[in-house]
Structure 1
Amino acid sequence: MIKNHLKIAWRSLKANRLLSLINIFGLSIGLTIAIVLFLFITYERSYDKMYASAESIYRVLVNTDESYDNQVLTTAPAALSPALKSDVPDIEYAARMLKHGFGETAFIKVDEDNFLEKELYWCDPELFEIFDIQFVKGNPADAIRRPNTVVLSESTAEKYFGAADPMGKTITVDNDQQLEVTGIYEDFPANSTMHCNAIASFSSTFAAKNPSWGNSSFETYIKLKENVSQETTEIQLQSVLDKNVDAEGQWFTFSLQPLKKIHLYSADFVNSYSSRIGDIEEIKNLSFLALLILLIACVNYMNLMTAKSEKRSKDVGINKTLGASSKNLTFRFYAETGLITFISLAIGIVLSMVAIPFFNKVTGQNLNSSLLFSAELLIPLAVFWIFTTLVAGSYPAFYLSRFSPKAALASSLKTGGKVINIRKGLVVLQFAASVILIVAVVVIYQQLQFIQNQKLGYDPENTVAISTMGISGNEKKDALVQELKSLVNVSEVAMAQGFPGISVSGRMVFKNENDEGGMQIRTNRADAEVLDLLQLNLLAGKTLPKVKQEGDTLVNVVLNKKAIDYLGYSPEEAIGKKALIGGFGNNAYIAGVVDDFNFESLHRPIGGYAFHNAKTESKSFALVRFNNASLPDMMQRLETVFTNVVPDSAFEYVFLDKNLEQLYAQERKTALIGVIFCGLAILVACLGLFGLAAFTAERRKKEIGVRKVLGATVLGITQMLSKDFVKLVLLALVIAFPIAFWLMNDWLQDFAYRIEIGWEVFILAGIAALAIALLTVSFQAVKAALANPVKSLRTE
């Protein structure tokens, strides 16, 4: 019976080649996207599952109060881990991680070779008790228990030492600290949130000697004992906080984040060390889009199959007259659908293999096409096939199989308004979804253009930040600055702790001694030239002093207008006033006021900012502004100067404008993915519309022949065949516009600076949808109108 159904299904496919090809191609696209997205979701959800104790591992989060904008920090105070070990018996192990330089690149020297290392971490030895990191050489129990020891990943050890055995050898960090190599471990898997290239002993750091509760800069992981709940432990964390920090100083609380949720549920958190952070919202959005396109493809199938009902009616009538039951016919039509979807699935797998490298390039993922043939994918692919078969074949199977023999064998089967309305409703659904995607792509593009053209309050063009983390001693830094200033086309040079677009120190500024709240402010230790270099607008006062005498405890600050507004001064009134900023010992005075500038992503509103000359932080960058010049030549000369002054350090730099672009990489990726999905959705919808138009033209060919004989023009016939479809697209616009407005307005709420969705977006989307529909339908309409009426009027 099944074999017979398949034979009939194959004959039906060959008898209706055009519609079969449209169905197969549309379903193939939908299934390809579904397969790739399933691989992506599976991969994203596989993060950190390789660790044996993953269910018991948590990261400590710091939840700040209103003075810190209720941010959630992934880093905790250095004093927390020792307190947990001694005061919380339910915690088996606790370990701190400090990314080198609070996220800065480390300069590594091995013999005479220099290297840049972005993934050097200083960790407690208990880290290896929490995470079962596989060691190739050395003993994880005591590898970093001593100060000045380090373990390297296999690839890093090979990079530093080549084929030589690195055990017992020394690497020098930032030309300052020597570390002995005491172990080699396997590289972290690609789906591990942690991805350390080098792990050094935490006891070697400043924080190990005097751990503080005030500086929240250390990722802290814990492993709970068996049968201990997360909720109970969080209560104990609060008890530890109450024991060690006065109520007045508690600007934060603690919570725990399960290891398995770190990758997908940390996108909105601050200070995360890992660059492998996903976003559950991205997965939801991509899944929705994939299902939408798959649904459109299934709708195509249902639409074209019901459209063919009149041609299939006699076949159904004869089979029913000969004794075939509705159930038997239902299975027959499902067999036809199953065959089409199976062929589509096979093509979809082949297309997925082609699409995966492109998907990896767009999204930055590491999907492997070999996963398509893994055991984990066989069952889901079978489910895909069954689900698509059931969805796509449901209406044709049940609708066609219910025809009565008498009605089916009538000379002209009256399908009735119900079926026609269903078909029209499916077309409306397809184009409503397509229009929503068009609006979304246009809005995302406009927002990105708005961000790109937004005045930032400073000029990042032609400015490069050269890292000086590997330079020890102020003499070499001063020499570097003087040499850089002497270069042709260099207009300004300034040493600074950081620059707009990267994080600098966070402090609190207070109106007076009685101000219990305060305002969070970012502070950046910098040279006097920094204002001119960034081309900031000085509203009052002057820049920082160029020279600070040895032993001078006075701290000069230049505040932005946001901070001055909080203090209640006008820019002119603020000059010379004391600024109560935490960590400056009540000795800070306002030297100048600059206009507000966007030192963070435009996702966030402008906050308080201060340039200062306190010796509380090091100046990690030499900022260089240059005039119009050949960029390769300019960079070559900068590198030559750097190498001459600091021969024992590597040259690392970043352009300020390129760094800013990275802040919106996710939005650009979203826009690109949106364009791709939008195009595919429209393509699949047009395939269905094309097939439906072809069938309509075929169904009305005798009517068209009669009209042509009576003098109808090609244009008139084309308009007649097109107008019904245009009406459906117009209805789709009415449905899609409010939905699209609501969705995109909600997306824009994530930006502090955003566009207003204008009427022109909807006009553009409407014109695009109508144009696409007209082009699709008109092709078949014109073809039908140009046909020879003699052939059209022949009797069957």
Structure 2
Amino acid sequence: MFKNNLKVAWRNLKSNKLFSGINIIGLSMGLTIVMLLFLFISHERSFDSMFPKKDRIQRVLLKTDGDFGFEIWATVPPVTALAMKEEVTNVESATRLLKHNFGRPASLRINNQNFTEDLFYWVDKELLTIFDVELVKGDAATALDRPGTVILSETAAQTYFNQENPVGQTIMVDNERELEVTGVYKDFPENSTLDAEIMASSNGYWFYDRKSWSNASFETYCLLKENVSIDATQTQIDQMLDANLAKENQWYSFGLQPLGKVHLYSASYGNSYTSRIGDINEVRNLTYLAILILLIACVNYMNLTTARSQKRSKEVGISKTLGASSESLVGRFYVETGLITAISIVLGVALTLLLLPSFNALTNQHLTLDLLLNPSFVLAALGVWLVTTLFSGLYPSMYLSRFMPKEILSPSLKRGKGNVVIRKGLVVMQFAASTALIVGVMVIYQQTQYIQNKNLGFAADNVMAVSIGGLRGEENKDALVQEFKNLSEVTAVSMVQGYPGMDVSGRTLKRKGTDEQGLNIQTNVTDASIVDALKLHLLAGSSLPKFKNEKDTLVEVVLNKKAIDYLGFSPEEAIGKEVYIGVPNTIVGVVDDFNYESLHQPIGAYAFHNSQSEGKSFMLVRFKSGNLGHTVAGLKSTFTRIVPNLDFNYSFLDQNIARMYAREKRAGQISIVFCLLAIFVAALGLFGLAAYTAEQRRKEIGIRKVLGASVGKISQMLSMDFAKLVLIALLIGFPLAYFSMENWLEGFAYRIDIQWWVFLLAGTIALGIALLTVSFQSIRAALTNPVKSLRTE
């Protein structure tokens, strides 16, 4: 029976090439999208699954109080790990990670060559046992025991030492610390939160035995004992904090985050060092999109199959006359559906292989073809085939198998209104979803453009950030600044701790006197040229002094307007006033507010100062627009001549700012691509309904033509029916799009307002696509010879 049904299904496919082709194209497109999104979602959800103790590893989070805006940080004070190992009985071990110089690049000198490493971490030795880091050279038990030791990833070892064995070799870091290589470890996979290329021992480093409960700059992981309660552990951690820090000094509390949630549930957390942060909302949205597109593809199959009901009724009637049961006919139609979906799956896999490189470029991922051979993917593909077959074939098989033999003798096949309503309802659903997608894409694009074009309060274009973390001695720094300024293309040079878009130092701003609460403020060590380098708008006073004696303990500060407003001064009144930011500071200048963080965050208080408390890790070099290659070559030549033992490592400030919105840009690109594909698949469904309607009304059309109706009038009559469906879809899709996009925009402190014309344009596009889709069937039906339409069957 199955073999016979398969033969019948194959003959039907070949005898109806147009409908079969559209069915297969629609399903294969939908399945391709689902498979690509499945690969992406599976990769995102697989993070940190390779660590054997993953279920017991927790990251320690810091939750600030109201003075700091109730934020969650991924870093905690240095003493946290030490105290947890001693005082929290549920904790078996704990480890700290500090990205070199609080996230700045490390300057390396190896075998008389200069390098820059962005993924250099100082770590406790416990990290190797907690995460079961596998060493291919050296002994994991002792590799980081001694001060001044370091281990490299296989990639880093190859980069810095080629084929030479790095164990026993030395690395000079920032021209001040020599480290001995004691091991080489396997590269962390692409789906690992740990991304270190070099890990140096914290033993002997400045934070190793530091007992401070401030300076929250250290990512900390703890390994819980077997079968302990998370709630009980949290209680012990709270008790630990109370025992070591007085309540009035507790501006934060601690929380635990399972390792399995670090990647996807940390997008809104501050101070995270890892370069691999995902977003659970993005994964959820793409999951919903995959399900939606698959449903649209299945609905298309239903519409296209039932559109051929006139022809299939004869087959059913004859089969029933010859004794076929409804159950056997259901099986026959399911075999046909299964065959079509199987062909679509094969084509979908082929398209997935073909489009994977482009999808990787779109999502900035490194998904490989190996994932397609993964048992979970194979099982998922089989599951998708089964679900698609069952869902797609359910309505057509039940609908067609109910035909009665006597209906063959009827002059036309008449179906109940309920079936028509269902089909029209499904098309309304498709276009409601498509309309919502169109509106969503337009809003995302507008917000992305708004972010790119918004006046940030400073000029990020034509500014290069040159890393000078390894440059020692103020004389050397001053000499490099002077040589840069001598270049004709350079207009300003400023040494800074960090630049906009980068974390600097968090402190508390307090009014002089009895201000106990204070205001969270970001502080940045710099010099007098910062105003010119960033083109800040100076509201009152001046920039920092150009010259400052090393023995001068007076700290001058330039505050932004947000800070001045908190102090209760006008910009002019603030000049010369003393404020407390850790130590007394004298205000010498006030600049207008500028967006030093992502536009997701409102502008906070900010201060440029000339204290010696922190180092200056970058030079901001403003240059004239023109021959960029010539400018970069000149700066590199000058840098290499003045600082021969450092690598010339630079980035452009506007590109660094743009990277803060990489997630939004990626979401916008993915939305545009899959929105177009979803509309294409939905248009196929409308084509199916148009074919069905033309078939049902062919005698009516013939009669109208005999009575003198023109092709245009008949085409308009059929098209208007579909236009009504699209208008209903707009009424449903617009509210859905508005509320979902308003919810998305709430994540931005600075955002656009959704304009009325967005809905008008989206509706026009949807209506245009619908009319263009149905016009082919409408004109074809209107051009049919009425003799054929009216012939009695």
Q: TM-score, normalised by structure 2?
A: 0.98
Any residues of structure 2 matched to 1:358-377 within 5 Å, and which?
Answer: 358-377=358-377
- Determine what percentage of the aligned residue pairs are the same residue: 56
1:671 is aligned, of 652, 668, 689, to 668
Any residues of structure 2 matched to 1:607-618 within 5 Å, and which?
Answer: 607-618=604-615
Q: Which moved more, 1:397-406 or 1:325-334?
A: 397-406
What is the Cα deviation at residue 699 of structure 1? 4.3
Secondary structure in structure 1 of the residue aligned to 2:578 = coil
Q: What root-mean-square deviation, in Å, do the aligned CA atoms of Structure 1 and Structure 2 show?
A: 1.5
Any residues of structure 2 matched to 1:445-456 within 5 Å, and which?
Answer: 445-456=445-456
Q: Which moved more, 1:197-206 or 1:288-297?
A: 197-206
Residues 522 and 609 in structure 1, CA contact (< 8 A), matched pair in contact too: yes
Any residues of structure 2 matched to 1:123-138 within 5 Å, and which?
Answer: 123-138=123-138
Structure 1 counterpart of 2:334? 334
Q: Per the alignment, do residues 398 and 694 of structure 1 end up closer, same or farther by CA in structure 2, a change over 3 Å counting?
A: closer
Which ranges of structure 2 fall in alignment gaps of 5 or more residues?
none
Structure 1 counterpart of 2:617? 620
What is the Cα deviation at residue 787 of structure 1? 4.1
Structure 2 counterpart of 1:759? 756
1:290 paired with 2:287, answer no
Secondary structure in structure 1 of the residue aligned to 2:556 = strand
What is the Cα deviation at residue 296 of structure 1? 0.6
Any residues of structure 2 matched to 1:155-554 within 5 Å, and which?
Answer: 155-407=155-407, 409-554=409-554
Q: 2:378 & 2:543 partners in 1: Cα distance?
A: 67
Q: 2:550 & 2:475 partners in 1: Cα distance?
A: 15
What is the Cα deviation at residue 206 of structure 1? 1.4
What is the Cα deviation at residue 698 of structure 1? 4.3
> What per-residue deviation string (whole Å, max 9, x for no partner) do you get for residues 716-741 of structure 1?
12101211111101110111111110
Q: 1:635 & 1:484 partners in 2: Cα distance?
A: 11
Residues 59 and 222 in structure 1, CA contact (< 8 A), matched pair in contact too: yes
Aligned residue pair count = 793
Q: Which moved more, 1:479-488 or 1:624-633?
A: 624-633
> What per-residue deviation string (whole Å, max 9, x for no partner) do you get for residues 412-471 of structure 1?
222021111111111111111110100000000111111122111111111111111121
1:82 paired with 2:79, answer no
1:714 paired with 2:714, answer no
What is the Cα deviation at residue 377 of structure 1? 2.3
Q: 2:47 & 2:788 partners in 1: Cα distance?
A: 64
Q: 1:741 & 1:359 partners in 2: Cα distance?
A: 28
Secondary structure in structure 2 of the residue aligned to 1:181 = strand
Structure 1 counterpart of 2:629? 632
Q: 1:497 & 1:795 partners in 2: Cα distance?
A: 88
What is the Cα deviation at residue 516 of structure 1? 2.9
Given residue 607 of structure 1, which amino acid in structure 2 is its aligned partner?
G
2:765 is aligned, of 765, 768, 791, to 768
What is the Cα deviation at residue 696 of structure 1? 3.1
What is the Cα deviation at residue 788 of structure 1? 4.4
Q: Per the alignment, do residues 183 and 684 of structure 1 end up closer, same or farther by CA in structure 2, a change over 3 Å counting?
A: same
Structure 1 counterpart of 2:3? 3
1:742 is aligned, of 739, 743, 761, to 739
Secondary structure in structure 2 of the residue aligned to 1:274 = coil
Segments ≥4 residues shifted beyond 6 Å:
none
Secondary structure in structure 2 of the residue aligned to 1:503 = coil
Residues 71 and 270 in structure 1, CA contact (< 8 A), matched pair in contact too: yes
Q: 1:750 & 1:442 partners in 2: Cα distance?
A: 17
Secondary structure in structure 2 of the residue aligned to 1:206 = coil
Q: 2:674 & 2:537 partners in 1: Cα distance?
A: 43
What is the Cα deviation at residue 745 of structure 1? 0.6
Q: 1:533 & 1:131 partners in 2: Cα distance?
A: 44
Q: 2:120 & 2:453 partners in 1: Cα distance?
A: 36
What is the Cα deviation at residue 59 of structure 1? 1.0
Secondary structure in structure 1 of the residue aligned to 2:387 = helix
Residues 411 and 792 in structure 2, CA contact (< 8 A), matched pair in contact too: no
What is the Cα deviation at residue 285 of structure 1? 0.5
What is the Cα deviation at residue 3 of structure 1? 1.2
1:692 paired with 2:689, answer yes
Q: 1:741 & 1:519 partners in 2: Cα distance?
A: 36
Q: 2:698 & 2:398 partners in 1: Cα distance?
A: 28
Q: 2:98 & 2:373 partners in 1: Cα distance?
A: 40
Residues 318 and 409 in structure 1, CA contact (< 8 A), matched pair in contact too: no
What is the Cα deviation at residue 411 of structure 1? 3.1
Q: 2:408 & 2:85 partners in 1: Cα distance?
A: 80
Given residue 519 of structure 1, which amino acid in structure 2 is its aligned partner?
L
Q: Per the alignment, do residues 401 and 791 of structure 1 end up closer, same or farther by CA in structure 2, a change over 3 Å counting?
A: closer
Q: Per the alignment, do residues 199 and 647 of structure 1 end up closer, same or farther by CA in structure 2, a change over 3 Å counting?
A: same
Given residue 93 of structure 1, which amino acid in structure 2 is its aligned partner?
S
What is the Cα deviation at residue 40 of structure 1? 2.0
Secondary structure in structure 2 of the residue aligned to 1:171 = strand
Q: Which moved more, 1:725-734 or 1:199-208?
A: 199-208
Residues 493 and 625 in structure 1, CA contact (< 8 A), matched pair in contact too: yes
Residues 316 and 405 in structure 1, CA contact (< 8 A), matched pair in contact too: yes
> What per-residue deviation string (whole Å, max 9, x for no partner) do you get for residues 273-332 of structure 1?
111111111111011111111111111111122222233223222222332222222112
> What per-residue deviation string (whole Å, max 9, x for no partner) do you get for residues 505-529 of structure 1?
1111123443332211111111111
Secondary structure in structure 2 of the residue aligned to 1:132 = coil
1:683 is aligned, of 680, 683, 697, to 680
Q: 1:419 & 1:227 partners in 2: Cα distance?
A: 57
Residues 24 and 341 in structure 2, CA contact (< 8 A), matched pair in contact too: yes
1:558 paired with 2:558, answer yes
Q: 2:381 & 2:54 partners in 1: Cα distance?
A: 28
What is the Cα deviation at residue 404 of structure 1? 3.5
Secondary structure in structure 2 of the residue aligned to 1:216 = coil
Given residue 634 of structure 2, which amino acid in structure 1 is its aligned partner?
R
Q: 1:370 & 1:333 partners in 2: Cα distance?
A: 35
Structure 1 counterpart of 2:724? 727
Given residue 533 of structure 2, which amino acid in structure 1 is its aligned partner?
L
Q: 1:349 & 1:316 partners in 2: Cα distance?
A: 34
Structure 2 counterpart of 1:590? 587
What is the Cα deviation at residue 695 of structure 1? 3.9
What is the Cα deviation at residue 592 of structure 1? 1.1
Q: 2:599 & 2:727 partners in 1: Cα distance?
A: 37
Residues 316 and 408 in structure 1, CA contact (< 8 A), matched pair in contact too: no
Q: Per the alignment, do residues 210 and 374 of structure 1 end up closer, same or farther by CA in structure 2, a change over 3 Å counting?
A: closer
What is the Cα deviation at residue 14 of structure 1? 2.1
Secondary structure in structure 1 of the residue aligned to 2:464 = strand
1:647 is aligned, of 629, 644, 649, to 644
> What per-residue deviation string (whole Å, max 9, x for no partner) do you get for residues 684-705 of structure 1?
1111222332343344444434
Q: Which moved more, 1:415-424 or 1:693-702?
A: 693-702
Residues 559 and 587 in structure 2, CA contact (< 8 A), matched pair in contact too: yes
Residues 310 and 695 in structure 2, CA contact (< 8 A), matched pair in contact too: no
Secondary structure in structure 1 of the residue aligned to 2:447 = helix
What is the Cα deviation at residue 271 of structure 1? 1.1
Structure 2 counterpart of 1:604? 601
Given residue 678 of structure 1, which amino acid in structure 2 is its aligned partner?
C
> What per-residue deviation string (whole Å, max 9, x for no partner) do you get for residues 203-240 of structure 1?
23211253411100011111111121221111111111
What is the Cα deviation at residue 568 of structure 1? 1.2
